[in-house]
């Protein structure tokens, strides 16, 4: 049974709306203020929220924006309800994140039909694809953070799913800076990680990509349990979780490797790196799950027909999933403008290659989901 959260400062109206919804087979919960609504929405993650716009203290637009930003409620159906009925009111509500807009006085049937119209699509999207992608690099400076940011944006496509990039360089990660986002506070406050503590720390990029910034802690080592818990939450909220990790995974190796469904081995055309990958591959295979896929990626390639890619395939006995061209000008411009290449140079060869890789990842995730569902 789908649950609907009804939010209105008029208790009498809440009773009427709940009655309509319960008669139509929905479960209902209610809140009489914006702050109470957010508390209940984050805790219960209802399928739909009927939200009054005209409420004192925190109006419906503010509530709507915060619900949409939070991964726990980003997929809930939001129906705005208000006595303000001008076209500009509808536009404002939709821009704030509402799916639909009804004017008071309204018909109960109309409200029920509106929720039912959005429900099948939203329920389908609420099952995350559990696609956790780990970028494994064997040394710093191979463009892993650049790839993580760009791949995350390519995966966070409106029509294909929601994506987050988690900066797991816990001491000095700079992913949020790279995207022009400002992190506030650390998500590692204690060993106990909660959804309420984690969700507000996620940053939203204009491309729809969510970012979990580095907590930038001073301790050299962090226990793996909090990180594993964070990844568990992210996988339950997003279709794709891209991990940007340092070359030395340290104590996090087991947690990140064993929970990832796809590992991208990031290789630059250097014989030493290939030897390192060859030596590490058996150990990686011991830790990862049997169904985890390992895709070598050649980054900073001088040409599309890179001989190094052939060497990689021979040595690792794995097909190279992507050859990303060397694009120093575009990358330099992206760093300076804090606007990743897929946005700042969408027509570039690098951008095209990243989108192609994202498409392959989506297809692979779809195949895994179909196998899991037996379809």
Partner 1 sequence: MSSAQFGNLIQAEFFTSTHRLSGRVHAGTKPLGDLLNDHSQSYLLVFDVYISRLSEPGEIVAYAPTAFLTKDNLSFVIVPTRQARGPEQGRYASQQYKALVTLPGVEVQGKFAGPYRFDIRTFTPATLDTYQVLFEAEARLVSLPDVTFSGEAILVNRTRVESFCLSE
Footprint on this chain of partner 1 (rule: CB under 8 A):
53-54, 56-57, 59, 61, 83-89, 91-93, 103-105
The CB-side HSE value for 55 (13 A sphere, CA atoms) comes to 27
- Closer Cβ to partner 1, 92 or 145, answer by number: 92
- Closer Cβ to partner 1, 69 or 84, answer by number: 84
- Closer Cβ to partner 1, 33 or 293, answer by number: 33
Q: Cα-flanking dihedrals φ and ψ of residue 62, to 5°?
A: -65, -45
- Give the C-alpha separation, 71 to 86, whole Å: 30
Closest distance of CB 54 from partner 1, Å: 5
**Alpha-carbon separation of residue 195 from 166, 311, 336 (angstroms):** 15, 45, 34
Closest distance of CB 92 from partner 1, Å: 3
Closest distance of CB 53 from partner 1, Å: 7
- Closer Cβ to partner 1, 54 or 228, answer by number: 54
Continuous H helices in 260-297: 271-287
Closest distance of CB 57 from partner 1, Å: 7
Closest distance of CB 97 from partner 1, Å: 13
Residue 76: count other Cβ atoms within 10 Å of its Cβ. Answer: 25
Closest distance of CB 103 from partner 1, Å: 7
- Closer Cβ to partner 1, 105 or 282, answer by number: 105
- Closer Cβ to partner 1, 85 or 302, answer by number: 85
CA nearest 324: which of 347, 304, 344?
A: 304
61-67, Cβ contacts within 8 angstroms, sequence gap of 24 or more: 61/92, 61/93, 61/96, 62/34, 63/7, 63/34, 63/37, 63/38, 64/93, 64/96, 64/97, 64/98, 65/96, 65/97, 66/38, 67/38, 67/41, 67/97
What's the first-to-final CA gap in the chain, in angstroms?
Answer: 24
């Amino acid at each position: 049974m789908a649950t609907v959260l009804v939010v209105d400062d008029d208790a009498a109206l809440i009773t009427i709306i709940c009655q309509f919804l319960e008669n139509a087979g929905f479960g209902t919960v209610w809140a009489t203020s914006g702050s109470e609504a957010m508390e209940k929405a984050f805790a219960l993650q209802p399928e739909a929220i009927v939200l009054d716009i005209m409420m004192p203290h925190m109006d419906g637009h503010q509530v709507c924006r915060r619900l949409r930003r939070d991964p726990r409620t980003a997929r809930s159906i939001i129906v705005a309800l208000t006595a303000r009925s001008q076209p500009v009111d509808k536009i404002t509500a939709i821009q704030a994140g509402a799916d639909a807009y009804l004017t008071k006085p309204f018909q109960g049937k109309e409200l029920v039909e509106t929720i039912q119209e959005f429900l099948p699509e939203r329920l389908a999207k609420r099952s995350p694809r559990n696609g956790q992608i780990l970028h494994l690099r064997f040394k710093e400076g191979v463009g892993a953070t650049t790839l993580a940011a760009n791949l995350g944006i390519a995966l966070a496509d409106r029509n294909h799913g929601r994506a987050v990039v988690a900066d797991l360089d816990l001491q000095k990660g700079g992913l949020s800076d790279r995207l022009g986002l400002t992190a506030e506070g650390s998500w590692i406050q204690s060993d106990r990680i909660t959804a309420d503590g984690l969700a507000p720390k996620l940053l939203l990029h204009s491309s729809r990509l969510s970012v979990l910034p580095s907590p930038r802690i001073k301790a050299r080592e962090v226990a793996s349990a909090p990180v594993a818990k964070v990844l568990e939450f992210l996988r339950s909220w997003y279709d794709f979780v891209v991990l940007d990790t340092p070359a030395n995974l340290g104590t996090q190796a087991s947690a990140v490797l064993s929970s990832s469904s796809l590992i991208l081995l990031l290789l630059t055309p250097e014989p030493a790196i290939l030897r390192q990958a060859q030596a590490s591959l058996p150990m990686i295979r011991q830790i990862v799950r049997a169904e985890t896929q390992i895709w070598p990626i050649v980054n900073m390639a001088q040409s599309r027909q890179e001989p190094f890619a052939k060497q990689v395939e021979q040595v690792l006995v794995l097909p190279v999933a992507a050859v990303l061209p060397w694009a120093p000008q575009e990358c330099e411009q992206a760093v300076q403008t804090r606007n990743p290449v897929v946005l700042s140079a969408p027509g570039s060869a690098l951008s095209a290659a990243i989108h192609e890789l994202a498409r392959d990842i989506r297809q692979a995730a779809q195949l895994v989901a179909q196998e899991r569902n037996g379809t």
